[in-house]
Chain A
Amino acid sequence: MSGPGRSGLLFDESTLFERSRPGRTGVQVEPLPASVPLIDPQAIWGAEHVRDDIEGFPELSEFDVVRHFTRISQWNLGIDSAAYPLGSCTMKYNPKLNEVVAALAGFQSLHPLAPDEATQGILALGHALEQALIEISGLDRVTLQPAAGAQGEFVGMQLVQAYHRAHGGASRNEVIIPDTAHGTNPASAALSGMQVVEVKSGPDGTLTPEALAAVVGPRTSALMLTNPNTLGIFEHHVQDLANVIHEAGGLVYLDGANMNALLGVAKPGDMGVDVMHFNLHKTFSTPHGGGGPGSGPVAVRNLLAPYLPTPIIRKEGDRYRLDHEFPHSIGRVHAFYGNVGMWIRALAYIRSLGGTGLGEVTQMAVLNANYLLERLREHYGTAQTGRVMHECVLTDKLQQEHHVSTADIGKRLMDHGFHPPTIYFPLVIAGALMIEPTETESLDSLDGLADSLIAIAQEAKTDPEHVRAAPHRTFVRRVDEVRAARKPKLRWTPPERE
């Protein structure tokens, strides 16, 4: 079998609760100073407010805990171990330097409500990151507050609505979203109280000005566009699309999930985009952490700047301060200022690479995606006829006659030692396998991935049952999702309570 995947020794490990033994503990709590008496909460709060146990709570030694999490970590596949070509997620290498700088005590132990004079370093850092994102986006202002891309979308929609309200457009509540969009786009629009108008992409996978013109109207608030789109194709009509929207009185929102394809190549500000979000955890290498934390800064044209979330970082001379006096702001979306730890990592990444290095990131990301597509074109159905940007979309069209599906192909790829691509997305492509290799995979890694996918396409013909039964070498075999949903068990309970 091709690919780096091998079987190795893994360990069974029960849950924390089953491992628990009464009387164990994993820490020595700092004792109270000698002059401070230990208080019984019942004496202060009254017995009716005090619990006498945390039922079922773990009791473990430090070593128990270390072995537990070490063992279960080994059931995971991360980028550090293997290529992780999860389309739309930009699973690039996460530099170790970034972890080290984010862990500096001056950042980690800094209280968010410390006075501005005590936080000059982090405010300077935030300001520098804003400036970098302004340069990359070609827009005018940035807020770093949104905690993830989806919250960035929500902020973007709130900004657009605030703008319309201030300009006599309170009735504008329709957001136009192409059928290739990420699910967060319509969900964020709905959360903002807007109606979603879906528009179909054209035969080459991109949105046409004609299709857009057919759905704009006096209620149009914004277009939410992903560029390059989720097929990995640049929306080459983008300027005309922006014109159609602007003439109708609407604004253009860019979902920046795919900015890895544009660094130093093209700026959203030049495309007619009015507002966009970045995903620091995609484009700027901050670790994905098993599902976050992300960070979703939003960049805007000046016309939207009055509505940005509060507070904002102001630079006055060589000092920085947080400005809360922002009368037209949409308000806060985060308890404090956002996922600051991700800002630190993203700025370290940007500073490591500089302008030229970021340009190379995009060049190599696009080269890698095209190379993979070229190597796989004969073996899979494809959603694109020509070249792609940073990702490509294959399909299971050629495997269907052997009753092998996209899901099966993804599962079999695990046995070869790769994380599967994003599957069944975008929704407009039946049986989609969305592959984003990113720039940090080497030629040998890409060849390994391509060889494995080709071997699987071959195996689908010769031994389809083996593909359908995959994965064979992972810690658990194919997981029963239907059973999980039919009778949800969402927490551990002691056996006698079941």
Chain B
Amino acid sequence: MSYTPHTPEEIAHMLRTVQAESVDDLFASIPLPLRSVGALKLPPPESEQSLLRSFAQLAGQNESADRVPSFLGAGAYHHFIPSAVSALASRGEFLTAYTPYQAEVSQGTLQAIFEFQTVICQLTGLDIANASLYDGASATAEAVLLALRATRKRRVYVSQGLHPHYLEVLRTYTAQLDIELESLPLGSDGRTLVTDLREDTAAVLIQQPNFFGCIEELNTVSETTHAAGALLLTSTSEPLALALLKPPGAVGVDVACGEAQSFGVPLGFGGPYVGFMAARSKLVRQLPGRLVGETVDKDGRRAFVMTLTTREQHIRRERATSNICTNQGLCALRVVIYLALLGKHGLRHLARVNLSLAEFTKQQLREIGCEPVYTGPTFNEFALRVPELEQRLSKLAPNELHPGLRLDTYDAARRDQLLVCTTEMNSRADVAKLVEALRL
């Protein structure tokens, strides 16, 4: 297959125009010792028909959640995606455009981003939101960097309820900075314990709901944090919870960030996903990434445009608020289409369905002697103590059931703990299968 349209006659005509003997001549500026000899050593070209077959074969080697009942969550959630999401997001006008640098031919992308920013503000209860970041992990790292810039302090308290991968990314992003990351433990109810904060505290970072599925109590955390002159940051990997939870903005959170994959973005083995970040308006000039604002055109009609770009790398270079350029535009579009379809009532009902199924599953598992690790309330995910977990899991084939995430993956002390997630994709039969698998 070739996607170049040139005929030999056209190539000859073009070469005459540029006064070159051959296409090779055009590369004369590359010193000869650097010129490759022969074609790249890659597998031979394949036809579309053959590729469809070979990729279907590769896809078929994966035990994906459409064929294997799965209770895996932990930052990636298997939710139903209405057909209209892909149908609309795959329109070439959206799919094959780039960053809307030229507003007059990009109003579709710009309005969609403006709408994305708005729904993120509505869900988080905050004033402003950006056009997206790479994923929940880098959004969380960027939120910490924002807090360090805004407060000019150097200590960040991080809850042990933060997704371990998000913590790893945060460490990578801050490795070169002269700051302290301190750990905040969880109580027996699974909620973060926040006590004395040092004076040089820039931020307190809490995941809501946290990695173990527990609903955090933010009102008191907010008081303690603000009394220390620090910013309260929340990270959310399951934003469906925000449909029912008191919005972060209403409980004193200054920056709410996280992962919006749950909203219409497929599991896709972990990406592309879409990070979001919302904040109080006083922090607007510290925000990383693109921002779209409303304005008017020359004739006074409403129009949208990228704005406050002096924060960004293409203007401010090494003094930019972030290095991010290309972000997750198409995934953000999927999110806003999904949320528009679900709407206020659909989203809240879906969240209740998730919560209800999780409570039901938790109860079923209790009955076979598997108790939740924490006493505090949860949303659609919970950490479970399963005696002799190893032994029970060893009986399971990878194409039979994915019962959840083993927590000793991250912490050897959590042997016999399993993180179980239920969504509307899990049937009653799936739950029965899980209970059967975990029964001794």
Contacts and interface: CB of A to CB of B under 8 A. Distances in A.
21 contacts: A15-B111, A16-B115, A49-B246, A54-B243, A57-B122, A69-B337, A77-B105, A78-B96, A89-B98, A147-B271, A148-B327, A287-B96, A289-B329, A295-B272, A340-B271, A357-B45, A420-B102, A440-B3, A476-B107, A479-B104, A480-B295
B176 A192 contact: yes
A36 B56 CA distance: 37
A441 B291 CA distance: 32
Contacts of B411: none
Contact of A76 (B30, B105, B343): B105
Contacts of B315: 183
Interface string A135-160: 11000000000011111011000100
B30 A265 contact: yes
Contacts of B122: 54-57
Contacts of B296: 479-480, 483
Contacts of A167: none
B96 A80 contact: yes
A106 interface: yes
Contact of B346 (A29, A147, A439): A29
Given A290-B99, A334-B271, A187 B84 contact: no
B286 interface: no
Given A32-B357, A41-B352, A73 B91 contact: yes
B395 interface: no
Interface string A4-16: 0000000001011
Contacts of B4: 360-361, 364, 439-440
A24 B74 CA distance: 32
Contact of A367 (B11, B44, B291, B293): B11
B188 interface: no
A94 B114 CA distance: 26
A100 interface: yes
Given A51-B246, A135-B41, A150-B325, 10 more contacts: A57-B343, A60-B343, A111-B267, A114-B65, A121-B58, A148-B134, A270-B34, A291-B290, A336-B76, A341-B271
Contacts of A264: 36, 39-40
A481 B270 contact: no
Contact of B347 (A35, A54, A188, A363): A54
B2 A77 contact: no
Interface stretch (A208-216, A297-305, A348-356): A348-356
Interface stretch (A234-242, A394-402, A459-467): A234-242
Contacts of A99: 90, 95
Q: Which residue of B62, B344, B428 has the most chain A CB atoms within 10 A of its CB atom?
A: B62
B257 to A, nearest CB: 12
A371 B45 contact: no
Contacts of B233: none
Interface string A334-345: 111111111010
A355 B40 contact: yes
Interface in B294-340: 294-299, 301, 303-305, 307-309, 312-320, 322-331, 333, 336-337, 339-340
Contacts of B424: 29-30
A425 B104 CA distance: 19
Given A73-B93, A76-B94, A332-B137, A490 B129 contact: yes
A292 B344 contact: no
A275 interface: no
Contacts of A267: 34, 36
Contacts of B377: 44-46, 49
A135 B309 CA distance: 38
A459 B353 CA distance: 63
A410 B102 contact: yes
A327 interface: no
Nearest to B296: A480
A370 interface: yes
Interface in A147-197: 147-151, 153-154, 158, 161, 182-184, 186-194, 196
B84 to A, nearest CB: 6
B229 interface: no
A101 B40 CA distance: 24
A232 B84 CA distance: 41
Interface in B370-398: 377, 398
Contact of B45 (A103, A188, A353, A492): A353
B271 A339 contact: yes
A458 B343 CA distance: 52
Q: Which residue of B127, B299, B341, B350 has the most chain A CB atoms within 10 A of its CB atom?
A: B341
A430 interface: no
Contact of A355 (B19, B42, B301, B348): B42
Contacts of A111: 64-65, 70, 72, 76, 78, 267, 269, 402
B34 A271 contact: yes
Contacts of A121: 57-62
Nearest to A368: B14
B91 A106 contact: no
B151 interface: no
B51 interface: yes
Given A56-B122, A335-B270, A490 B45 contact: no
Contacts of A13: 111
A58 B98 contact: no
B23 interface: yes
A177 B178 CA distance: 24
B269 A107 contact: yes
B138 A151 contact: yes
A263 B40 contact: yes
Interface in A270-319: 270-271, 281, 285, 287-295, 309-310
Given A289-B330, A351-B43, A367-B14, A187 B320 contact: yes
B244 interface: yes
B15 interface: yes
Contacts of A455: none
Interface in B98-120: 98-109, 111-115, 117-119
